[in-house]
Structure 1
Amino acid sequence: MAANKSVEQELLITRVFDAPRESVFEAWTEAERLSQWWGPQGYELEVKKLELYPGGLFLGSQRSPEGHVMWGKFVYKEIVAPEKLVFVQSFSDEDGNTIRAPFSGTWPLEVINYLILTENGGKTTLTLRGGPYQASEEELATYESMRPHIQQGLVGTFDQLDAYLART
């Protein structure tokens, strides 16, 4: 977390999936699987690159039903298969250069995510926490103002992960 970030600004989501931890981890870390569920409902994800090692890069584009394309990336900080992923998420251009979010000039350039997976009785509990990384006060305020939308979007994305895991 950024030094200027308080615990109250941290986003925290917990979700239980009826799938083994290895399957949930693979859904996050294999390009073919990730492309089946990541992102807003109705969007199509194309994975350009997925390098699963510390310092490695996920780079992909999301196409809306109307044809609008946005690029994004994860830079992996820590990987402990099948229980933990730490990555910094950003909007990017198609070459992976970090850019400002297309919807806000004050959205944080980087958001750090800590993904923890635990298994009990064949079900996996996913805990995602994180928030702005190395952000200015203005970026922190923008993130905080959008928190309900972020949570709603992640719930929808995790609904898609749940449906994907049920199909596989």
Structure 2
Amino acid sequence: MTKAEHGGSDFVITHTFDAPRELVFQSWVEPERLAQWWGPVGFELSVLALELKPGGVFHYGMRADNGYEMWGKLTYQVIEAPEKIVSILSFADREGNVVPHPVSATWPLQAHNTMTLSEQDGKTTMTLRSVPHEASELEHATFKEGHESMKQGFGATFAQLAKYLARVQ
């Protein structure tokens, strides 16, 4: 189950998984697990770097069946296993340099993301809050206009995570 809310340009999405918190957390931080579910449907993930520490980077590439490639980067700010990851997310190039959104010149270069995990009765609720980071008013407005698309994209990605969790328990 996924639900999204937004106030201002903040984007918040929540999903409850039928899996323990430790497994959900591991699925976010272990390359072999990430490769099973991360990214848009139909893309294959390549983990170029994953340094799970404040200041560390998760640099990844995604390749579609038609050959289209794109890269992204998370720079970790806070890691409190297994309950919280705070990071700065951006599109990147193959070398890990921050680059603009591939189709939107006014999309923020970076977003500040806070993911929290809480467990109750063997189910884990994940909440992801994303806010434009060091962004102009126009970039905030573009980000807010993209909330519905983000809801669909994250919803599909979290559905892939749910399928992965069901397979590995």
Alpha-carbon distance in structure 1 between the residues aligned to 2:35 and 2:134: 28
Alpha-carbon distance in structure 1 between the residues aligned to 2:102 and 2:111: 15
Q: Percent identity?
A: 50
**Secondary structure of 1:139's partner?**
helix
> Gaps (5+ residues) in structure 2?
1-5
**Secondary structure of 1:54's partner?**
coil
Partner of 2:39: 39
Moved over 3 A (4+): none
Structure 1 position 9, deviation (Å): 1.5
Q: Deviations over 1:53-112 (max 9, x none)?
A: 000000010111211000100000000000000011000111111011111111100011
Aligned-partner residue type, residue 163 of structure 1: K
Higher strand content, 1 or 2: 2
Structure 1 position 8, deviation (Å): 2.2
Structure 1 position 7, deviation (Å): 4.4
Q: TM-score, normalised by structure 1?
A: 0.94
Alpha-carbon distance in structure 1 between the residues aligned to 2:163 and 2:124: 14
Q: TM-score, normalised by structure 2?
A: 0.94
Computed over aligned residues only, the root mean square deviation of the Cα atoms, in angstroms, reads 1.1
Alpha-carbon distance in structure 1 between the residues aligned to 2:81 and 2:135: 29
Q: Deviations over 1:103-153 (max 9, x none)?
A: 111110001110000011111010111221110111111111111001110
Alpha-carbon distance in structure 2 between the residues aligned to 1:64 and 1:105: 22
**Secondary structure of 1:59's partner?**
strand
Alpha-carbon distance in structure 1 between the residues aligned to 2:143 and 2:111: 10
Partner of 1:3: none
Aligned residues: 163
2:148 matches 1:135: no
Alpha-carbon distance in structure 2 between the residues aligned to 1:108 and 1:82: 29
Decide whether the 8 Å contact of 2:50 with 2:57 is kept in 1.
Answer: yes
Decide whether the 8 Å contact of 2:75 with 2:88 is kept in 1.
Answer: yes
> Gaps (5+ residues) in structure 1?
1-5
Partner of 1:26: 26
Partner of 2:104: 104
